[in-house]
Amino acid sequence: MQNIMMTAAADPIGWHGTTILCVRRDGHVAMAGDGQVSLGQTVVKGNARKVRRIGTGGAVLSGFAGATADAFTLLERLEAKLERFPGQLERACVELAKDWRTDRYLRRLEAMMAVADKDRTFTLTGNGDVLEPEDGVVGIGSGGNYALSAARALMTVDGLSAEEIARRAMKIAADICVYTNTNVIVEML
């Protein structure tokens, strides 16, 4: 039994429990993240904070999925890039993606990030991807596709704000994905 637990803990794929959703609508941006962290079939924590404000004055929203220590390392690196390239989120993301892809230490990190400022939204991966959605909606993590699908459907409903869409979509994802809970943190721009 101990070997099974040690193997699961050493395997980043064994860690589940993140849903991050970013919705851009009518000049507003909402980034939501659930609070569940699971190891295998066990919920380890239900109130993790996976969405943060970074950059000067908290002008950038960031959410992460994957190994926590790896995600924090990437958040610190992105903050450093934002200091170097203030007000240039795309440039900072591209520079981080280059480092992430080519640096021996960084390329071993197991995480994904969703980032947004008042104008743009990006998904960053360890493969060097800096992806900008056409519709302003991004979902990452184990429940990301559920939340993404729900948000896209809710975008067709008139009168819903970015925050309302994000909250409703996260609720739908939590109802479907066992690695997602309803303890949702939402940050707005």
**18, 19, 121, 180: the active-site residue:** 18
User: How many CB atoms neighbour CB 115 within 10 A?
Assistant: 28
Query: Active-site residue 56, yes or no?
Result: no
Q: Which residues pair with 34 in a beta bridge?
A: none
Q: Which amino acid is at 135?
A: D
Structure tokens at 41: 């079939």
| CA separation for the pair 134, 143 (Å, rounded) | 20
Terminal CA-CA length for the chain: 47
User: What's the length of the chain?
Assistant: 189
Torsion-angle region of residue 55: left (phi > 0), alpha (psi -120 to 50) or beta?
A: left
- Do 128 and 89 contact (CB within 8 A), yes or no? no
Partners of 22 in the β-ladder: 31, 138
User: 3-class SS at 136?
Assistant: coil
Residues labelled catalytic? 18
